[in-house]
Amino acid sequence: MNDLTDLLAQASEPDDRWSVAPEALLREGRSRVRRRRIVATGAAVAVALAAAAAVARPPW
Amino acid sequence: MVARDDAEYVEFVAAVQDGLRRTAYLLTGDWGLAADATQEALIKLYVAWPRLERGVGLAAYTRRAVVTLTIGRQRRQPRPQVAPGKPTLTVALRTLPPQQRGCVVLRCFEELTVAETADALRCTEGQVTGRTARGIGALRRELARLGLPSMAAAAMEGVA
């Protein structure tokens, strides 16, 4: 498949000098990790509160 | 992630981003979509970084993410209309069904093994073999139809 490999390599030769700063991805990645932690903590707190409310509820 | 991991991540991104974007371009036929898919895949990689094996695991995860963000989305949508214009290999590639295109690009451009391609596309090795052969055949016919016989002949070279 060498010829097709060469053709695909030529076809995907970029005509610009695009590159993304790894530091920008790092910042976005950190932000997503933080958001996930907040959501996970919020969900855990909600479950704990629901459990506490169920225990505290009078039986009638 | 600790600072040492951040430094490794930055180094990994700098090393792979160009190749990933080229693969994404062959899968989508659009440089803008390719850039978006590459960035998103690399951000997902950061989130998954602590649980991934260093080395092969990082590359495999990133490749799978790019494939999902390109081919995975196309699979759920009608096949895009190929805009009229100068006939090229990328125009011919876009006429292939997404899974066949994925097999041809990953096997012939990225030069992955059948097993690695199956992992990236989440299919069996038998499906990779069949789709690659059918994809190359369809690509050759499309190139001939577009009036690119030399490319069509080149696409057949080395195909068993």
Please indicate whether, in this complex, the C-beta atoms of A4 and B22 are within 8 angstroms of each other: no
Distance CA A33, CA A31 (A): 5
pLDDT for B149 equals 81
Q: Are residues B36 and B106 in the same domain?
A: no
Residue of chain A whose Cα is closest to the Cα of B11: A22
Q: Are residues B97 and B123 in the same domain?
A: yes
Q: Are residues B102 and B71 in the same domain?
A: no
- Res. A15 pLDDT band, cuts 50 70 90: confident
Per residue in B48-98, pLDDT (tens digit) is 998 887 777 899 999 999 999 999 766 555 555 555 566 688 889 999 999
- Res. B119 pLDDT band, cuts 50 70 90: very high
Please indicate whether, in this complex, the C-beta atoms of A12 and B39 are within 8 angstroms of each other: no
Q: Are residues B56 and B90 in the same domain?
A: no
Phi/psi region, residue B107 (left: phi>0; alpha: psi -120 to 50; beta: rest), is: alpha
Distance from CA of B122 to the nearest CA of A (A): 23
Domain span including residue B22: 1-77
pLDDT for B83 equals 55
pLDDT for B3 equals 66
pLDDT for B160 equals 42
DSSP letters, B38-89, are HHHHHHHHHHHGGGSPTTHHHHHHHHHHHHIIIIIHHHTSPPPPPPSSS--H
B22, B56, B77: which is the final residue of a domain? Answer: B77
- The CA distances from residue B19 to A33, A49, B25, B69, B109, in Å, are 26, 49, 10, 16, 10
> Domain count of chain B?
2
Distance CA A60, CA A53 (A): 14
DSSP letters, A44-60, are HHHHHHHHHHHHHS---
Q: Are residues B67 and B105 in the same domain?
A: no
Please indicate whether, in this complex, the C-beta atoms of B18 and A14 are within 8 angstroms of each other: yes
Q: For the whole model, what pTM was predicted?
A: 0.82
B77, B110, B133: which is the final residue of a domain? Answer: B77
Q: What is the CATH number of the domain that holds B54?
A: 1.10.1740
Residues of A in contact with B25 (CB under 8 A): 12, 14
Q: Are residues B96 and B158 in the same domain?
A: yes
Is the minimum CB–CB distance between B18 and chain A shorter than 8 Å? yes
Q: What is the mean pLDDT of chain B?
A: 86
